Amino acid sequence: MMAFLLSIDCSGQSCSSALVRNGQISAVENLPLTRGHASHILPQIARVVADAGIAMSAITQIVTPVGPGSFTGLRVGLAAARGLALALDIPVTGVRVGDLLIDQMKIAKSDQAWCIAALDGKRAEPFAQCWNPDNGEISSPFTATETGLREHLPAASDIPLMIAGNGSEKLRPLLFDIGHRQVTIVNDSLPDAAQLGQWAWRRLTDGQPLWPPKPLYVRPPDVSQAAAKKAAGQ
């Protein structure tokens, strides 16, 4: 049985850590951050552990997003999670943020509504995941180009669509462009580490699968060849 689950998230515009016990939040810290996650995440985890009044050894499970998201942020979060898991000899598991957003939308959806998670990928088209109410399946993440949307969504324009995530405002006009007019934005933000941790706790205790702690990239990173050589010291 899990004593404390540590949830960490560096995949977006913040550095976030939380401890969850029995499905309840014991401590959490969110730091708005666009860069520099690597220098903040471990001190933040130490503060969260201290706030909860526990020893690091009380943590028995770690979860962190695997993508899609910030190329660098995902790698920072996964490296921190795997390093701590190795030091503490405990399991680490990946989560897809889109799965959580879709689960949240399914609670409030109408019977026929499709649910779409929209994650900002810092380009014109966000990343997306779709939930089909007819078969209950969630798609793999994809880039929401016109082709991608047509491949994953029904052709009928009168089917209601619900979208959530920080890419929602980018996704809505793209859906309009392919003929969908019944589009509702449920929320335009991302869950923090506390929400991710509570959701992961429920899935793990219910025996539902999560993901291996490996980055899930939908497209190549936005790094030029010159920048890559500079980073490598060439």
C-alpha–C-alpha distance, residues 197 and 5, integer Å: 7
C-alpha–C-alpha distance, residues 194 and 25, integer Å: 7
Q: What is the pLDDT of residues 83-135, one digit of tens each?
A: 999 999 999 999 999 999 999 998 876 668 999 999 998 888 999 999 999 89
143, 121 in Cβ contact below 8 A? Answer: yes
Mean of the pLDDT values across residues 44-56? 97
Report yes or no on whether pTM surpasses 0.85.
yes
Q: Give me 128's structure tokens.
A: 């997306």
C-alpha–C-alpha distance, residues 204 and 181, integer Å: 37
Share the mean pLDDT of the chain. 90
Q: What is the pLDDT of residues 77-94, one digit of tens each?
A: 999 999 999 999 999 999
Asked which of 27-31, 69-73, 178-182, 207-211 is least confident by mean pLDDT, the reply is: 69-73
231 pLDDT band, cuts 50/70/90, is very low
Domain 98-187, CATH 3.30.420 — does that match? yes
Which of 1.10.10.60, 3.90.1150.10, 3.40.50.720, 3.30.420.40 would CATH assign to domain 4-96+191-231?
3.30.420.40
Instruction: Cite the residue boundaries of each domain of the chain with CATH code 3.30.420.40.
Output: 4-96+191-231
- Residue 226 pLDDT: 43
